């Protein structure tokens, strides 16, 4: 394949879905390293926010790099798919959720690309960055081949954790995969702007590598949550046991603490892997029942100690994880729903979340609640001073996790 005529492109990178939680940090990182980046996103409010120099969500460390990139004219956004034709590298980072019956949508990426297809042109490199159902890269290769353009496809999965994007994008090794060696080389060169280390796999290996990574993490959280419930049922503090067993014992150093394991990725990627195995993935499904069952367990334990029907319960932390404003698939909301059925009143607060008008100031919740539950381990709660009972499965307060 001939080298692309780079001078023909006004931009180095277009990020499709680039106003999202993964796409925007990536676009900012490329722009910070000198690339000329344009975002294409169907969310007009998010596009307007980016062009006005406002981050549509909180990502620690992103603001100064973002402001610099926008001011330098290296980063802009558009809801018009025509911008896809302007860049040499076309990176796709749209969401790939499972549906309400836990089915992956293998057509999500081809459908999103459908609107951009008329603007793909010879010399571009199409890079899938979303977490995809295995086989989607091959499907997209087929789709692009049908367009009659010379645009090779690469799959380079995103592996950052939300909240750490602006450090991890510059430090994690980048997995790079493509059928054609020249395409893999071009993808490696692009991600080489961010980091020194690239790892080359074939697309089918890379698709599984990403799903295995998230599922591995989800299963580890489920194991810890199971251990927590076993210990707790015996009146024992799992954190004391975990601290004891892992002290100067490296083989157990990676055992996580208990906590709500949720959010937009781990659960759905475990379900993608289950669907790939014709639903014969007992370990993955068990991890789901354990992790999704933790809020139910917590409420049933609290019911044994308190007359919930007579109490106002305060939930602190509605985001899916500590330090985040992201409520997607947060188990704090499942906890809220269950408690609304059992308790006299449920009041919720979160110092980061801005998308839920029902949230109250923390002082009001702590003042009016009879019982508090920390549902997301925000660092602010370390200094929580209250005489009310607090259920703290995360050990944020450092007083143990027994409930």
Binding site for ligand NAD (CB under 6 A): 16-17, 19-23, 40-43, 46, 93-96, 112, 115, 130-131, 158, 160-162, 264-265
- For the record, the structure tokens of 278 come out as 């014709």
Q: DSSP states of 72-104 as a string?
A: TT-EEEES-GGGGGGEEEEEE-----B-TTS-B
Our CB check for ligand NAD shows the closer of 190 and 343 to be 190
Closest distance to ligand NAD from the beta carbon of 186 (Å): 21
Name residue 104's beta-bridge partners: 98
Q: Beta 174-178 vs 153-155: how paired, if at all?
A: antiparallel
Closest distance to ligand NAD from the beta carbon of 235 (Å): 37
Closest distance to ligand NAD from the beta carbon of 62 (Å): 13
Q: Are 108 and 98 spatial neighbours (Cβ–Cβ below 8 Å)?
A: no
Our CB check for ligand NAD shows the closer of 18 and 257 to be 18
Residues 6+ apart with CB under 8 A from 114: none
Instruction: State the residue number with the nearest CB to ligand NAD.
Output: 20
Question: In which element (H, E) is residue 12 found?
Answer: strand 11-16
| Rounded (to 5) percent helix, strand, coil in the chain | 45, 15, 40
Q: DSSP states of 257-294 as a string?
A: PP----SSSHHHHHHHHHHHTTT--HHHHHHHHHHHHH
Closest distance to ligand NAD from the beta carbon of 269 (Å): 7
Compute the distance between CA of residue 332 and CA of residue 345 in angstroms, rounded to an integer: 15
Our CB check for ligand NAD shows the closer of 131 and 362 to be 131
- For the record, the structure tokens of 369 come out as 């609640």
Q: Are 46 and 69 spatial neighbours (Cβ–Cβ below 8 Å)?
A: no
Closest distance to ligand NAD from the beta carbon of 324 (Å): 9
Please give the distance of CA 228 from its chain centroid, rounded to a whole number.
24
- For the record, the structure tokens of 354 come out as 């801005």
Our CB check for ligand NAD shows the closer of 21 and 242 to be 21
- For the record, the structure tokens of 309 come out as 């029907």
With tokens 């269950």, the residue in question is: 338
With tokens 């492109």, the residue in question is: 9
Our CB check for ligand NAD shows the closer of 15 and 346 to be 15
Closest distance to ligand NAD from the beta carbon of 381 (Å): 22
Our CB check for ligand NAD shows the closer of 153 and 302 to be 153
Our CB check for ligand NAD shows the closer of 59 and 141 to be 59
Our CB check for ligand NAD shows the closer of 93 and 348 to be 93
Query: Smallest Cα–Cα separation from 125: which of 67, 61, 190, 66?
Result: 190
Quick one: 278 exposed, middle or buried, by C-beta within 10 A (0-12, 13-18, 19+)?
exposed
Compute the distance between CA of residue 286 and CA of residue 256 in angstroms, rounded to an integer: 17
Our CB check for ligand NAD shows the closer of 213 and 380 to be 213
- For the record, the structure tokens of 165 come out as 């994007």
Closest distance to ligand NAD from the beta carbon of 298 (Å): 25
Our CB check for ligand NAD shows the closer of 112 and 331 to be 112
Closest distance to ligand NAD from the beta carbon of 56 (Å): 8
Closest distance to ligand NAD from the beta carbon of 115 (Å): 6
Closest distance to ligand NAD from the beta carbon of 25 (Å): 9
């Amino acid at each position: 394949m001939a080298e692309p005529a780079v001078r023909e492109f006004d931009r180095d990178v277009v990020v499709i879905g680039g106003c999202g939680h993964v796409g925007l940090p990536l676009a900012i990182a490329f722009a910070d390293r000198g690339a000329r980046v344009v975002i294409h996103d169907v969310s007009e409010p998010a596009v307007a926010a980016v062009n006005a120099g406002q981050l549509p969500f909180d990502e620690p460390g992103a603001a100064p790099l973002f402001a610099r990139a926008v001011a330098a004219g290296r980063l802009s956004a558009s809801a018009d798919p025509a911008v896809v034709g302007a860049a040499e590298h076309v990176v796709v980072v749209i969401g790939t959720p499972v549906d309400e019956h836990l089915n992956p949508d293998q057509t999500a990426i081809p459908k999103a690309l459908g609107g951009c297809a008329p603007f793909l042109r010879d010399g571009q490199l199409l890079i899938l960055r979303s977490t995809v159902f295995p086989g989607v890269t091959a499907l997209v290769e087929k789709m692009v081949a049908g367009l009659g353009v010379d645009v090779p496809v690469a799959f380079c999965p995103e592996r950052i954790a939300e909240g750490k994007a602006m450090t991890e994008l510059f430090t994690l090794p980048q997995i790079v995969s493509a059928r054609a060696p020249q395409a893999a080389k071009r993808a490696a060169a692009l991600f080489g702007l961010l980091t020194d280390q690239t790892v080359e796999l074939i697309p089918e290996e890379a698709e599984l590598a990403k799903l295995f990574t998230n599922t591995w993490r989800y299963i580890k959280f489920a194991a810890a949550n199971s251990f927590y419930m076993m210990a707790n049922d015996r009146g024992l503090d799992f954190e004391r046991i975990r601290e004891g067993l892992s002290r100067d014992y490296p083989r157990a150093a990676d055992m996580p603490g208990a906590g709500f394991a949720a959010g937009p990725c781990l659960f759905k990627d475990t379900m993608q892997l289950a669907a790939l195995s014709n639903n014969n993935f007992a370990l993955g499904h068990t991890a789901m029942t354990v992790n999704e069952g933790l809020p139910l367990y917590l409420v049933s334990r609290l019911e044994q100690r308190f007359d919930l029907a007579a109490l106002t319960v305060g939930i602190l932390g509605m985001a899916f994880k500590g330090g985040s404003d992201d409520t997607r698939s947060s188990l704090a909301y499942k906890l809220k729903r269950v408690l609304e059925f059992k308790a006299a009143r449920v009041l919720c607060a979160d110092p980061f979340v801005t998308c839920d008008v029902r949230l109250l100031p923390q002082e009001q919740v702590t003042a009016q609640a009879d019982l508090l539950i920390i549902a997301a381990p925000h660092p602010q709660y370390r200094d929580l001073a209250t005489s009310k009972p607090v259920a703290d499965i995360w050990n944020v307060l450092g007083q143990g996790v027994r409930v």
